[in-house]
Amino acid sequence: MTDALQLSLVDWSRGQFALTAIYHWLFVPLTLGLGFIVAIMESLYVKTGDPEWKRITKFWMKLFGINFAIGVATGIILEFQFGTNWSNYSWFVGDIFGAPLAIEGILAFFLESTFIALMFFGWNKLSKKTHLLATWLTAFGANLSALWILIANAWMQHPVGMAFNPDTARNEMVNFWDVFLSPMAIDKFLHTVTSGYVLAAVFVLGISSWYLLKNREHMMAKRSIVVGSVFGLMAIIGNIFWGDSSARHVAHHQPMKFAAFEGLYKGSKGVGLTTIGIMSRTGEDISMENYTDFSFNIEIPNMLSYLAYKDFGAFVPGIKDLIEGNEAEGIIPIMEKVRRGKIAIQALAEYKLAKKDNDELRAVAAQALLKEHFQYFGYGYYDNPNDLVPNIPLTFYSFRIMVALGVWFLIIFIVFLILVYKNRIDHAKVWQRLALISIPLAYLATQFGWVTAEMGRQPWVIQDLMPTIAAVSKISVTSVKITFWLFAVIFTVLLIAEIKIMTRQIKLGPKDGGQ
């Protein structure tokens, strides 16, 4: 396969996976958050016995069910792509990556699939408390699915709990708990699911505001706003906390990604945090002195050093430091990592030859050399340091849009709680319209979060160990192109169908009598 054809295959395979992931994540966050909001509303119904709470619960439950059903389809396709488009990756780390996905399918998916049936069809067949339990278990099941998938994703960002077996050329899990309880995995899970809770809360506020603007369903709308605002405020506070912690892990384990989403070209001590900035790219060559200089920026002095290392005077490496190295800070130049990576790749090849020739002494020496340099294995696939730098402007702006929208959601939850407390929600037409407009903004925020996380770590599938060019399957580029456009059409049809069904149900509103 020629280099050009290989790159085309990688680009189309990445594009197809990104397409599927983007569409899948349009459905997932609402499922994660709305499940718990529905469970809270039903808990209020069971506690108070007020039939209005049952009516409200069933309305939001119906929207949850529509979204859940369509989201499952995209998720299944996403997992299949690891075997079809990324078979080398699946072989290299299947022992580790496959375990969380298998647990997700066996445990979490069956849990939510079982209890969602009881939740929807058990209203007149189960006792109130048993039905409430089914609703809570459905919500927990959906989030349990997210847990295992995000553990797998976090492991790709910071591989732990494994050992490389040169006989099979595979990474094998040696400590499940290191993978499961990785600090990066915990923070990534909590930050990601709370972003789903925020989206669901914004969704509830926006739809409820629409009813108030239409002068319909005042009681349902006001009660939903109270639940959504409280739930959303708690979620956004947690989201900010775990987002800060996640960024700190990135600074330690993925410094190139951290430098990219901060637009930091040249590192120093006491680095300021750029809150608002416009980047000025003067060239494609990373060696150019003003590669990511700002034409305009507002920063908080020393804050980035503190957020990254809890020290206002700490050194934060920039892209130039990571490429060229910084001996004073103990940073190895990229080309030295490339050299060591090539040694590791060659040592693996030498080990296989020695084993084939039954030369144990040569095999032992090659294995020792491989172990010494294995942490740089992935760098051995590259010769140009520029190939190891992600798209800096895309990562930088995506991160800031996500953060800015998060701040906006914090404001809107607080304002709505104040309006409810002062009994002025009926007259706050401007805020009602802003809440309605905020629904698509919430979806954009979660998408930009994933763009930051995934584009920022490029070109790595597994940080430092496997780049995308080595992970892709050896299949026809034409096949990937055809399936890309096929999936694009199918997913778009599904999305249009969801929007139409959801808007129809919203316009109909909750049924009378809680039926």
Digit-coded pLDDT (tens) for 82-91: 888 888 888 8
Cβ burial of 124 (10 Å; 0-12, 13-18, 19+) is: exposed
DSSP state at residue 271: P
Per-residue pLDDT band at 296 (split at 50, 70, 90): confident
Which of 141-155, 302-316, 406-420 is least confident? 141-155
Q: What is the DSSP string of 382-448?
A: -S-GGGGS--HHHHHHHHHHHHHHHHHHHHHHHHHHHHHHTT-GGG-HHHHHHHHHHHHHHHHHHHH
- Biggest CA-to-CA distance, the chain: 84
How far apart CA 456 and CA 452 sit, in angstroms, is 5
Pairing of strands 268-269, 315-316: antiparallel
Q: Is pLDDT above 50 for 271?
A: yes
Q: What is the mean pLDDT of residues 463-468?
A: 93
Contact (Cβ atoms closer than 8 angstroms) between residue 213 and residue 430 = no
Give the rounded percent of residues in the chain with a pLDDT score beyond 90: 68
pLDDT at 452 over 60: yes
Tell me what pLDDT residue 3 has: 56
Confidence at residue 213, expressed as pLDDT on a 0 to 100 scale: 96
Q: Which among 233, 88, 235, 110 has a CA at the least distance from the CA of 170?
A: 88
Higher pLDDT, 277 or 78: 277
User: What is the pLDDT, as a whole number, of residue 429?
Assistant: 95
Cα–Cα nearest to 184, from 215, 152, 228, 211: 152
The reported pLDDT for the residue numbered 77 is: 79
Residue 146: pLDDT band by 50, 70, 90 thresholds? confident
Among candidates 32, 120, 114, 24, which has minimal Cα distance to 73?
24
Residue 283: the pLDDT is 46
Residue 98 pLDDT greater than 90, yes or no:
no
Q: Average the pLDDT over each of 8-22, 72-86, 206-220, 248-262 and give the range with the smallest value.
A: 72-86
Q: What is the pLDDT of residue 101?
A: 76
Residue 479 parent element (H or E): helix 477-508
Q: Over range 92-101, report the average pLDDT.
A: 80
Query: pLDDT tens across 63-73, in order?
Result: 999 888 777 77
Cβ distance 378 to 460 under 8 Å?
yes
How far from 207 is each of 164, 408, 435, CA to CA, in Å? 51, 18, 8
Average pLDDT, integer, range 328-352: 94
Identify the pLDDT of residue 99. 78
Q: How confident is the model at residue 514 (pLDDT cuts 50, 70, 90)?
A: very low
Which pLDDT tens digit goes with each residue over 171-209?
A: 899 998 999 899 999 999 999 999 999 999 999 999 999
Query: Rounded to two decimals, what is the model's pTM?
Result: 0.92
- Closest to 458 (Cα-Cα) out of 397, 406, 400, 382: 382
Which among 182, 203, 115, 185 is positioned nearest to 149, based on CA atoms? Answer: 185
**317 phi and psi, to 5 degrees?**
-70, 140
How distant, in Å, are the alpha carbons of 10, 274, 489, 510 from that of 500? 35, 41, 16, 17
Q: Quote the pLDDT of residue 94.
A: 79
What per-residue confidence (pLDDT) applies to 75? 76
pLDDT at 103 (0 to 100): 78
Evaluated on CA atoms 189, 306, 327, 264, the torsion sign reads positive
The full set of domain ranges for the chain reads 17-181+475-498
Highest mean pLDDT among 121-125, 141-145, 429-433: 429-433
Cβ contacts of residue 246 below 8 Å, gap of 6+? 184, 187, 188, 191
Phi, then psi, of 44 in degrees rounded to 5: -65, -35
Q: How many CA atoms lie within 13 A of 498 on its CB side?
A: 24
| SS3 (DSSP) at 124 | coil
Burial of 111 (0-12, 13-18, 19+ CB in 10 A): middle
Q: What is the pLDDT of residue 194?
A: 97
Residue 269 β-bridge partners: 315
pLDDT digits (tens, 9 = 90+) for 379-397: 999 999 989 999 998 999 9
Whether the upstream peptide bond of residue 459 has omega within 30° of 0, thus cis, is yes
Chain centre to alpha carbon of residue 252: 19
DSSP characters over 322-363: HHH-BGGGTBPPHHHHHHHHHHHHHHHHHHHHHHHTT-HHHH
Half-sphere exposure of 161 (CA within 13 A, CB side): 22
